[in-house]
Amino acid sequence: MRFDSAREIMNAAEENKELLFQGGRVLTPGGLRKTGVRVEGALISAVGDGLGDSPESIDLEGDYLLPGMVELHTDNLERHLMPRPEIYWSDALGAMEAHDAQMVASGITTVFDSVCVGESVDKGREAMLKMSLEAYLEGREHARARHLLHIRCEISDADMERLFTEALSIASPDMVSVMDHTPWQRQWRELSDWARYNRKHASLEELEKEALKIKEIRDQHAAKNIRLVKDYARERNIPLATHDDTETSHIEDALDLGAVISEFPTTLEAAAAAAEAGLTVIMGTPNLIRESSHSGNVLASDVAKAGHLSCLSSDYVPSSLIHGAFSLWRKHGYGFEDAYASVSRTPAETAGLTDRGSIAPGLKADLLRVSFRNKRPRIEAVWVGGRRVY
């Protein structure tokens, strides 16, 4: 059995610990049911009626019992390490602990912490790279959530290969992605959008000069950087994602890379092509909840209505993930099981984590108690490996 942290090893050692959940609406692989769930140690041991007694029985009082959510892409650790532009928090481990606490409070029990290797515009990520990885490694050992590593590779950066090599000397990723944030590419097809997002206040002539310099660097280094990431993912058999796919040709490129995920496609055309090709299509819950893209791209709700959305990511607002799942159900026509799978079973399966994401015997006892009050879901309690962490 794979142990994700020292905390899980401690959980597994508590072989006699039992929990019995009763009186709730349980999301099972067969759908939402009023039934019971027994947990022994770190695993779910039984789901059904008539499960007997337990030293620790929990009456859910009609609340939902749901699988812990799985987050494949979040920049939240970076936000704690750099709470203001170019302001680095001196206590990196404290930042990791705060990030971890926010994850479990949001119902996210497995999180792929995103760390960026390279950038097209200097925003301090290179300076933060080593600090991020070391905080991740030290903090995950005693974290409440299960933490895995997602290395995001900016293929336009001339130093990406060096930074990628340095990152790998510190920690091994569980997932990698390729992204291109240069002007006139993907998310930033319009120069004005790129300038606004990057806080570039200059004349059009000056902006075009800077953008052309960035494009020239990209054209020199992108191909070899992509090959490097492709080969790494293939040799180690870890998931590879593309980012901000905009055209059908980007999906063709993704398939050539061996990608299994299309993160945040920017057009309905790209989302449709990705779904048809069998890629997991991830859209952001901030986009879904706000019904707006901060960069003017396709609405997540439109991708969902077209049937192309398969997975949600909280991206930069951890608490939005549970709201996104309930929004798909209550507002966008998804059945409850399919809506919630977008934040649990689907991301788990996409990442090769077949031991979580559902409530079934033999799987990890990563569970959420969720109430529904004031027309919104509320995380009431969280268990990771049978241990209550929130």
Whether residues 116 and 31 share a domain: the answer is no
Confidence of residue 212 (pLDDT cuts 50, 70, 90): confident
CA 198 vs. chain centroid, Å, equals: 23
For the chain, what is the domain count? 2
Beta 376-384 vs 387-388: how paired, if at all?
A: antiparallel
Separation of alpha carbons 83 and 80, rounded Å: 5
pLDDT above 80: residue 239: yes
What are the tens digits of pLDDT across the range 97-150? Answer: 999 999 999 999 999 999 999 876 656 678 889 999 999 999 999 999 999 999
Distance CA 304, CA 289 (A): 12
On whether residue 97 sits in a domain, the answer given is: yes
**How confident is the prediction for the chain on average, in pLDDT?**
89
1 belongs to a structural domain: no
pTM score, whole prediction? 0.90
* 265 and 364 together in one domain: no
Alpha-carbon gap, residue 160 to 165, rounded angstroms: 8
CA dihedral 253, 121, 294, 270 (to 10 degrees): -10
CATH number assigned to the domain comprising residue 375: 2.30.40.10
- My answer on whether 313 and 273 are in the same domain is yes
CATH of the domain at 100: 3.20.20.140
* Domain match, 21 and 117 both: no
Interval 143-187: pLDDT, tens: 999 999 999 999 888 899 999 999 999 999 999 999 986 765 666
Within a domain: 374: yes
Residue 51 lies in a domain: yes
- Domain containing 264 equals 69-350
In a domain, 242, yes or no: yes
Task: Give per-residue pLDDT as tens, 273-306.
Answer: 999 999 999 999 999 999 877 667 899 999 999 9
